[in-house]
Amino acid sequence: MTFRSLIAAGMAAATLTGAASPAFAEEITLTLWSRADRSGPLRAGNVVEAAKTLNQMLAASGSDKSVKVELIETNAKGFDADALDVLKAHSVGDTPDIIVAAHEWIGSFVQAGLAANLEEHIAANPNLYDDIIPTLWNAVSYKGARYGVPQDGEVRMFFLNNDMLRKAGKSEEFIASLPAKVNAGEFTMADMCTLAAEVKDAGASELGLVHRPNVGPDFQMAMAAFGIDMYNDEEARLQVSKSGLTKYYGWLKTCVDQGAIPADMTSYSWDSVHAAFRGEKAVAKFHGIWNLGAQLEAFGIDPLDKDAYFKKITWINAPAGEKGGTPKNLSHPIVYVVGDTPNKDLAAMLVALASQHVPNTRHAVTTNHTPINYGQMAMPAFQKEGWGLVAGVPLLEYAEFMPNHPRVGQYNAITFQGVQAVETGEMTVDEAVEMVIEELETELGEDVIILD
């Protein structure tokens, strides 16, 4: 961003807030709501720091306004509990100017009148936003408009242990070709389980493919691979395809029958799941990029040795459900939401500054999150310490996001019941599909569309 555009942005901020030239300087307090988050302290910290830059911009533009940030730091145990708390505060008139939130709460924030529409602000400040990775905007959109700015990114994938593939007789050419074959729709979800079972049966691994043991967003990329689109954007309603569920649960059943997925997978502890892959018992696992640090430690690989890691591990998107289909991925960004308050224009500019390459890189590299701007990948910190994060960015091309709907948690919990029922053999695939459809209709009512 040039000095001239910086001044222009400062003038725009002053104009947006209606600043004329009052006789005395005015300090405007902007409230920032954020849960105390040891895993990501710069989510709030970058906004606080950005106030210094914004004040310099305002001064350079001739405005006699200045801003200070009042941090409202909560002790909520998670982002869901925190979102409920901010909605309660909003309901009694205490609407924060900026909120750090999980993106799926945007729909609830908009419905409550809490979130400001940022379309005009984003369009008016291309120098601040044009480098953001386009797919990430999907995470902050509701009914066709953007109500937030991505704060960070993440990517979830299938991890494969190359050493086990080699032990099972797979060639270097086969291993190296897997990502491209997945992206071309040549290697499918069925092929994934067949490969995992083959490696296990060859004695090269104790287990095949492991996944999270409890309800959570990871399953969405597997569902999407079988054509399940969870959200109707136009109607802002959740949706499910009966035929898609049949294919998805059928895949799980086949994987269990082949011995690729343990039948008792949903009774594992998280420690057991992590130990299965990091302890080199399982040939494959699907989860998130933040596992990289723990994997490097477990495998005894130098954190700066990219080549050694990728010699041992391959990353692929969730393969397509059928030959010729499109692979899928999942990202669950944390976002900045600007409150619909009298100070929303200044708050939006503060968010924009906190989202620039240098501050976002400080957060991303220290917390194993992918960048939000393309240009960050060329920065020294990413090239040296964040090589894994850079490697994860291309997978975002196929990213799905959890729907920005207040009842997505219930949706995920109900569809997970089907996962448990099928993998344990408690129900047939058809029985599980019928049970899940009935539960979705009963629990979610008009909030869910049954497509077929």
The pair of structure tokens assigned to 259 is 């011995």
Give the start-to-end residue ranges of the domains of the chain. Answer: 3-154+332-400, 156-330+407-450
Q: Check residue 367 and give its pLDDT.
A: 86
Task: Describe the crossing of helices 357-367 and 42-60 by its angle, rounded to 10 degrees.
Answer: 170
CA distance readout (Å), 93 to 99, 112, 148, 222, 340 = 15, 12, 20, 41, 11
Q: Check residue 15 and give its pLDDT.
A: 42
H-state helical runs in 61-188: 79-91, 106-111, 119-124, 126-129, 162-167, 172-183
Average confidence score pLDDT of the chain? 92
Same fold, 3-154+332-400 and 156-330+407-450: yes
Residues lower than pLDDT 70 in the chain: 1-24
User: Contact, 140 vs 335, CB < 8 A?
Assistant: yes
Q: What is the CATH number of domain 156-330+407-450?
A: 3.40.190.10
Distance CA 109, CA 348 (A): 16
Q: Check residue 240 and give its pLDDT.
A: 96
pTM: 0.83
Q: Check residue 366 and give its pLDDT.
A: 87
Q: Check residue 9 and give its pLDDT.
A: 46
User: Contact, 98 vs 59, CB < 8 A?
Assistant: no
Q: Check residue 5 and give its pLDDT.
A: 41
Which fold, 3-154+332-400?
D-Maltodextrin-Binding Protein; domain 2 (3.40.190)
Q: Check residue 179 and give its pLDDT.
A: 97
Phi first, then psi, for residue 131 (nearest 5°) are -95, -5
